[in-house]
């Protein structure tokens, strides 16, 4: 599996480019901004973007999705429970002092257990409401990687004080879904350094029972 991670935009959202070495099909997860940089990595690997997956509808994660869709023709997948946040993108842009990305056309709503595909590479959708109502993670089981969005960070968890956030739901998602994964799974959080499930199970102050 080809996996490139780049921090995009002023809030340095971790965008993942996941590709299949054989078919050269790819998915891009959380294209928040810097689409030209994303496209140059895609081109460097000779990849064709087939799916755009958004872990949740905060502007720093979804802001460049429409531009990437226009450039590649790939559909945008976002859980429907974040529809209200999509409608609020102009307001989010004001809050963050960022550009309003304009009309966002969502093409599909992944459910828990759905698969997102890049050729033979398959990621499983784990629904993890809490940071937002529609937050999801993408789990690449054979590769032991979790793209966690803003659900889990190294040593911390996503904030829940924004519209659609719930601390109770976040902790429930973490304890019932995320911590269900094996200790050696590498976690790619929505921001900041990588970690593992085992490290967070041991050290993350929010996850201690």
Residue 161's contacts (CB-CB under 8 Å, 6 or more residues apart) are none
Q: Which CB, 150 or 200, lies closer to Zn ion?
A: 150
Order across the sheet with 186-189: list the strands: 115-118, 121-127, 136-140, 145-149, 186-189, 195-196
Q: Which CB, 69 or 131, lies closer to Zn ion?
A: 131
Task: Indicate which single residue of 50, 58, 69, 169 sits in contact with Zn ion (rule: CB under 5 A).
Answer: 58
CB of 149 to Zn ion, least distance (A): 7
CB of 122 to Zn ion, least distance (A): 25
Residue 82 binds Zn ion (CB under 5 A): no
Q: How many Å apart are CA 173 and CA 56, to the nearest integer?
A: 14
Instruction: Tell me the pairing of strands 152-153 and 145-149.
Output: unpaired
Q: Which CB, 67 or 150, lies closer to Zn ion?
A: 150
CB of 135 to Zn ion, least distance (A): 8
Q: Which CB, 2 or 104, lies closer to Zn ion?
A: 104
* Secondary structure (3-state) at 94: helix
Instruction: Tell me the pairing of strands 145-149 and 136-140.
Output: antiparallel
Q: Which stretch binds Zn ion (CB under 5 A): 25-33, 39-47, 112-120, 144-152?
A: 144-152
* Secondary structure (3-state) at 24: coil
Q: Which CB, 20 or 60, lies closer to Zn ion?
A: 60
CB of 2 to Zn ion, least distance (A): 25
* Secondary structure (3-state) at 137: strand
Residue 133 binds Zn ion (CB under 5 A): no
Residue 150 binds Zn ion (CB under 5 A): yes
Q: How many Å apart are CA 38 and CA 151, to the nearest integer?
A: 23
Q: Which residue is nearest to Zn ion (CB)?
A: 58
Which residues of this protein are in contact with Zn ion, per CB under 5 A? 58, 150
């Amino acid at each position: 599996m080809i996996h490139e991670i780049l921090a995009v935009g002023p809030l340095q959202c971790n965008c993942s480019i996941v590709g299949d070495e054989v078919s050269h099909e790819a998915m891009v997860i959380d294209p928040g901004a810097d689409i030209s940089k994303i496209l140059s990595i895609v081109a460097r690997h000779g990849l064709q973007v087939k799916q755009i997956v958004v872990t949740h509808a905060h502007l720093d994660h979804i802001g460049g999705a429409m531009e990437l869709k226009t450039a590649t023709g790939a559909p945008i997948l976002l859980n429907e429970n974040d529809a209200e946040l999509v409608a609020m993108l102009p307001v989010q842009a004001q809050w963050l002092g960022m550009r309003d990305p304009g009309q966002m056309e969502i093409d599909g709503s992944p459910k828990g257990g759905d698969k997102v595909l890049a050729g033979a590479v398959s990621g499983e959708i784990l629904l993890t409401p809490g940071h937002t109502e529609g937050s999801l993670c993408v789990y690449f089981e054979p590769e032991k990687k979790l793209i966690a969005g803003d659900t889990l960070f190294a040593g911390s968890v996503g904030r829940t004080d924004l519209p659609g956030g719930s601390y109770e739901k976040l902790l429930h998602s973490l304890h019932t879904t995320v911590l269900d994964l094996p200790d050696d799974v590498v976690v790619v959080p929505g921001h900041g350094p990588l970690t593992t499930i085992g490290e967070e199970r041991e050290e993350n102050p929010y996850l201690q029972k």
